[in-house]
Structure formats: structure tokens, C-alpha cells
Structure 1
Amino acid sequence: MRTVPRKAADRIFRPAMQGGIRDSRSYTVFRAINAALIVVICFITLYPFLNVVAQAFSSEAYIRSGQVNLIPQGFNVTTFSYVMGDPLFWRNYGNTVVYTVVATAIAMVLTTTFAYALSKRHLKGRAFFIGVAVFTMFFNGGLIPNYILINTLGFKNTIWAIVIPNAISVFNLLVMKAFFENFPTDLEEAAAIDGLSTYGILWKIVLPLSKAVIATMVLFYAVSFWNSWFAAFLYMDDAQLYPVTVYLRNLLAAATGTEALGAGSGSGDSAQVASNVKAVTMLLTVLPIICLYPFIQKYFVSGVMLGSVKQ
């Protein structure tokens, strides 16, 4: 077989390697338009949030006159000082952290195990259990029966009034079930041959390769429990047990009603608090979730089955 000398081959292929593959004019135009659209969409998405941040740090006169856009006008932190100087705020903030962590942990354990069981087509009564889960998406007992049930179980004024009724989201359950159904059965069969039990397969094989869906479900549950306020407002009577969302809700209701805020302060401070309390409450509520997202976001783009057996 005749071979081309190395120097000759270098002379033949060097121009092609140096020039590379050039993009066509239409593809270049497409990339430019695509980049411009992404920038515009990002700006449209960020604009309301940046406006809220600007209003949170602006003074009352500029807010009421509509002069606040993206940059704070008349920098002012009176409302932040009023809210964060209240010991009840920090007490309720700590309650929110505890409620969110405990509720998310319990919800993930129940959702993951239930979804993994439902993903097995050989499970007896599988269709019945799926039907029961889906049924609860469209029908529930109603507000009064739920209140009576929580009160009868002794959950009122406890963390369980928030955790137990919302322990499983059927939407999240179905998402995880669909994910586990597409999981390679070869891995589970190999683990079973090696002597692992069902729980061992779930803990040592399935979960380590399911970080993406687990991170997504953790974020969904954490955001849901963090923003939840109605359950605590309904089932708790002691202000010391409220989550921070109820505290901020009460603060916002007082600011927008006839009741004056900051009775110990001057009328100017009360007007300042009432003018931007909405922006401050929204910022204080969403800030922890924004800080949490970067630690979970990496799992959204990582390969789920990287390095494992493919079917």
C-alpha cells in the first residue's frame, strides 16, 4: 500500500488546518441575532427585579413621584433598619430556615422512595397507587375539613402543620417517576447480582446518578416551603412560631392599610417605611433563594448518566 511521505502530507493538509471551517454568512447573521435576542430577554427578565432593588433603597419622595427606575434615588435604608431591627423578624426568619430544611428533607425522602417504587412496572397495584396520587391533584377535602384534621391530629401551632400536609407534591412525584423509569436497568441488575438489596441499589447506584433531578426537586421544594405563608397563617396562633413570610405579610398589610407603622418613630420614618415596604419585603424574601441557586445550578447542566452503562 502506497503511503504519502510525512512532509508531503503536511504540505497538503496544513492549509486546511490553518484555515479551519468558516461559518457561512447566514449562520453568522443567525448567531448575531440570537445573541441580541438573548441580551434583550435577559434585560426584560432582570428589569423588574432591578427596579425592586432600586425602590428598596430609595427615599419616599422619589418613590411617590415615580422617579426611581434602575438606580436608587435618595439612598435610604430606613425600612431595612425598621424591619431588621425587630427581634421578631429574626425569630421568624430562623423559623423559616428550620421549616424549610425539615420540610424539604422529609419531602425528598417520601417523594424519592415513592417515585422509585412507582417506576417499577412489576409492582403490584402500581396503577392504583398512581391513580391515587393523580386524584389528589384535582380533588381535596377543602379548607375546613383540612383545618379540622390538623387540629384533631394535634398539629396546630407545630411545625408538622406546615410539613405533613405538603410533604409530597404530585407534580414532583411524577417528574421523578418518569426519570427513574428511564434509568438503565443494566446497572440495577448488575448491582442485584453483586448482592445489593433494593434499598442498597437505590442508595448506592440510583441516587448518585440522579443528582440533576434531585437538585431540581430540592430547589422546587425549598422555594415552595420558603414562600409558603398561608398554612402558617391558618394553623398557627403564636407570632413567635410564624415564618418570615407571615411576618412580612403582616407588615405589608399594616403599611397598605390605615394602621400607622413605627409608632415610636416620627411621621417621616413611618411614611418612608410605608412607601417602600413592598420592595423591601420582596427583596428579603427572594434573596436567600437567589443565594442558594448557584450551588444547585451546576447539576442542571451536568450529564446525569456520564460514565455509566447506556441502553
Structure 2
Amino acid sequence: MEFTSRNGLTKKAKQKKSWNDRLFDLAVYTIAILMIIMVVYPLWFIVIASFSNPADVTNGNVWFWPKEWELDGYVELFKQEIIWKSYLNTILYTIVGTLIALLVNIPAGYALSRSDLFGKKWISIFILIPMFVSGGLVPTYLVIKGFGLLDSFWVMVLPFAVSSFNIIITRTFFKNSIPETLWEAAQMDGCGTIRYFLTMVLPLSKAILAVIGLWTAVGIWNSWFNALIYISNEDLQPLQLVLRRILISNESLLGAASGEIASELRRLSEMMKYAAIVVSTAPIMLLYPFLQKYFNQGVMVGSIKE
């Protein structure tokens, strides 16, 4: 005969449940740790490879720590004076471009979330069209040239600031997160549309601001194709394009060299390749932890069905 405890469960059932819970927790933690390793280890390997001899990396002698610390890749990379100028260009493009994108996309998304917007349906269709149909590279180039933006700072931040995807994500966030009653209460207190948006809506929208800002910043930071097409002035080129040109130049020199010179160039080229990856991604990797809590809150807003 089994005696039940005060919570209605037998002692045997409680033990069985406790064991199952521990087994489940162990499985969850194991999977989580494996996923973390799968994500973190490739990044860590790039970092240690940038400080290692390429021969050790090729032969599989580098796993978790450099066999011998070498800084030749970073030294050779930063000897290129254009690196510092391009780094500053990329930082300016990212900051200014992100601010402009937020200034354009956030108000547009809020306007579309309002039920009293005149012609809301047709405006939404007009915004959705570029998500499926593009004008193409040549017409875009001709338009940018017609506006006199070629070889200018603004060609990297103005023509591509509007994003239909970001506007739709922002609209969904405002529609599902900002109650209509808040606007009604603000109207009763004599608050206008602009004041309401600036003083009440934006402070409640840190999550979507962080998400759109991070997406835009990462996109601009990694952008090199637009600069390749629209910028020929080396003083205006971003970091990604300059790094690409340096690596291609090294490959060309390597093909023309022979003997010990070719061996040394190959070693430096491999080290510079890893160093370039670290240099180009480090700022974004350092920025992400500060925005992670907002990113986690807002990243799923686009999946909410209206």
C-alpha cells in the first residue's frame, strides 16, 4: 500500500519526476553548450590564427591557443596608411547612415501603424513593391549619377537609407506594442502628433530602435559592393573595400614572386587575411553585447501575425 504525501504525489512518483527533470536539464544544458561552442569556436579560431604562423594553422597545430605568437600580420596590415583613413570613413558611414535610416524608417513605420492614416492601403503596397521588384544596377547607377552623388560621402548613406523590410518590421512593432488608448489619452491632454511620437512613443520603443539600428549598422559596416560601384576616390573608400584591394594585391605579388620571397609573401598574406577579418569585425562584435537585451526583445516582432 502506497502512502501519498501532502501534495498528492507518492514518494516514488516524486523521485521519478525529479530524475526526469534532472535528465531533461542535463540534455538542455548539453545542447546549449554544444551550440555555444559551434558559434564561438570559429570566431576564436580566426583570432588565434591571426597571431599564429600559417604553417602551424595549415598543419593543424593550432586548436585553442597559438603555438607561437606572431604579430607580423597586424604589423603589415597597419603599415598601409590607407587603412586608417578607410577605418574612419567606415565609422562615419556607419554612424551617419544608421542615424539617417532611423530618422526615415522609424517615423514611416509609425505612420503606417496608425489606423487613421489616409491612403494607408495604397501606401503600404507602394512600400512593399521594392521588396519584390528592383530597378536593377544600371538604372540605380544612372539615378545616383543624375543626383550628383557619385564619388561623394553621401552616396554611402542616402540612396539606400529607406528599407521596406525595416518599415514593415517597425510598423508591426508599433501596432502590437503601442496601445491606441495611449494616443487617445494624450489627445485629451492636448498633445499633438509630433509631440506624442517624440515624447511618448520613442521612449517606449527602445527595442525596435536597437534592432533596426543594429541591422542597419552591420549592413553599412560590411558593405563594400556599393563603394566598389559608386566610389573611385581612394580617400572616400570604406574599410571593407580597402582590405579587399590589399588582399587581392598581395595575391598578385605572390603570383609574381618565387623562391624564399614567395614563401615569405605567402606567410604574410595568410596572416594578413586573418588579421583583416579580426580588424573588420571587432567593432561590431564589441557593440553587440550592449544592444543584446533590446535585440532579444525586438527581433521577433516581425513574426507576430496581425
TM > 0.5:
yes
CA distance in 2, matches of 1:97, 1:66: 36
Using the TM superposition, give the Cα deviation of residue 281 of structure 1 relative to its aligned residue in structure 2, in angstroms.
1.4
1:308 matched residue in structure 2 = none
1:149-183 superposed Cα distances (whole Å, 9 cap, x missing partner): 11111101112211122102221111110011112
Letter in 1 for 2:282: L
1:106-132 superposed Cα distances (whole Å, 9 cap, x missing partner): 000100010011111221111111111
2:140 matched residue in structure 1 = 146
> Is 1:112–1:176's contact at 8 Å kept on the other side of the alignment?
yes
CA distance in 2, matches of 1:49, 1:199: 44
Using the TM superposition, give the Cα deviation of residue 302 of structure 1 relative to its aligned residue in structure 2, in angstroms.
6.5
Identity among equivalent pairs (%): 32
CA distance in 2, matches of 1:67, 1:24: 44
Query: For 1:258, what is the secondary structure of its paired residue?
Result: helix
CA distance in 2, matches of 1:36, 1:61: 34
Corresponding residue pairs, total: 280
- The one of 270, 275, 282 aligned to 1:280: 275
1:24 matched residue in structure 2 = 18
> Is 2:72–2:271's contact at 8 Å kept on the other side of the alignment?
no
Using the TM superposition, give the Cα deviation of residue 268 of structure 1 relative to its aligned residue in structure 2, in angstroms.
5.9
1:218 matched residue in structure 2 = 213
Letter in 1 for 2:63: N
2:157 matched residue in structure 1 = 163
1:252-309 superposed Cα distances (whole Å, 9 cap, x missing partner): 2223x33249x9xx66652322122322111111100011112212324569xxxxxx
CA distance in 2, matches of 1:225, 1:113: 21
Query: For 1:223, what is the secondary structure of its paired residue?
Result: helix
2:28 matched residue in structure 1 = 34
1:92 matched residue in structure 2 = 86
- The one of 119, 122, 128 aligned to 1:125: 119
TM-score calculated relative to the size of structure 1: 0.84
1:198 matched residue in structure 2 = 193
1:8-40 superposed Cα distances (whole Å, 9 cap, x missing partner): xxxxx9xxxxxxx99632122111110111001
- The one of 203, 215, 220 aligned to 1:208: 203
1:8 matched residue in structure 2 = none
Q: Greater helix share, 1 or 2?
A: 2
Query: For 1:165, what is the secondary structure of its paired residue?
Result: coil
> Is 2:90–2:239's contact at 8 Å kept on the other side of the alignment?
yes
Asked whether 1:51 is paired with 2:26, we answer no
Query: For 1:141, what is the secondary structure of its paired residue?
Result: coil
Letter in 2 for 1:121: S
1:259 matched residue in structure 2 = 253
2:9 matched residue in structure 1 = none
Letter in 2 for 1:24: S
Measured on the aligned residues, the alpha-carbon RMSD in Å equals 2.2
CA distance in 2, matches of 1:234, 1:272: 31
Considering Cα pairs closer than 8 Å and 6+ residues apart, tell me whether 1 or 2 has the greater RCO: 2
Q: Structure 1: which 5+ residue stretches go unaligned?
A: 1-12, 14-20, 304-311
Using the TM superposition, give the Cα deviation of residue 213 of structure 1 relative to its aligned residue in structure 2, in angstroms.
1.1
> Is 1:137–1:170's contact at 8 Å kept on the other side of the alignment?
yes
> Is 1:79–1:276's contact at 8 Å kept on the other side of the alignment?
yes
Query: For 1:218, what is the secondary structure of its paired residue?
Result: helix
TM-score calculated relative to the size of structure 2: 0.86
CA distance in 2, matches of 1:246, 1:33: 44
CA distance in 2, matches of 1:173, 1:25: 49
The answer to which of 88-97 and 156-165 deviates more is 156-165
Using the TM superposition, give the Cα deviation of residue 235 of structure 1 relative to its aligned residue in structure 2, in angstroms.
0.6
Q: Structure 2: which 5+ residue stretches go unaligned?
A: 1-5, 7-13, 299-306
Using the TM superposition, give the Cα deviation of residue 45 of structure 1 relative to its aligned residue in structure 2, in angstroms.
1.1
- The one of 184, 207, 228 aligned to 1:233: 228
Letter in 2 for 1:282: I
Letter in 2 for 1:177: R
Query: For 1:24, what is the secondary structure of its paired residue?
Result: helix
